[in-house]
Amino acid sequence: MKGGLYLDAEAPGLVRQTYALVRAERGKRKRFPENVVEPVATAEEALAREDAAHKLFAAEVMGPSRSSEGFRLYYLVRWLSE
């Protein structure tokens, strides 16, 4: 289990760890709906595009994973600019 997320060893491509830009209040949540997460290729790209004034933060996330309510969620691994 990684941050409340169960990983299936037989299907590693379904949920993956990636870098992203997250539009949210930083520090308040550990999971985010997919509509506020923009996956990017590298940590450097995420950090370069971070914009705290517009609440857009660089992060490392796991996902997407389907919640029990049917939403696709990303789970925070860590904020990159800490």
pLDDT reported for residue 26: 80
pLDDT of residue 30: 92
- Asked if 49 contacts 57 with a C-beta cutoff of 8 angstroms, the reply is no
Q: Which residues contact 56 (CB under 8 A, 6 or more apart)?
A: 21, 22, 23, 49, 50
- For residue 5, pLDDT beyond 90: no
**pLDDT, tens digit (0-9, with 9 covering 90-100), for 27-57:** 778 999 999 999 999 999 999 999 999 999 9
The reported pTM is 0.81
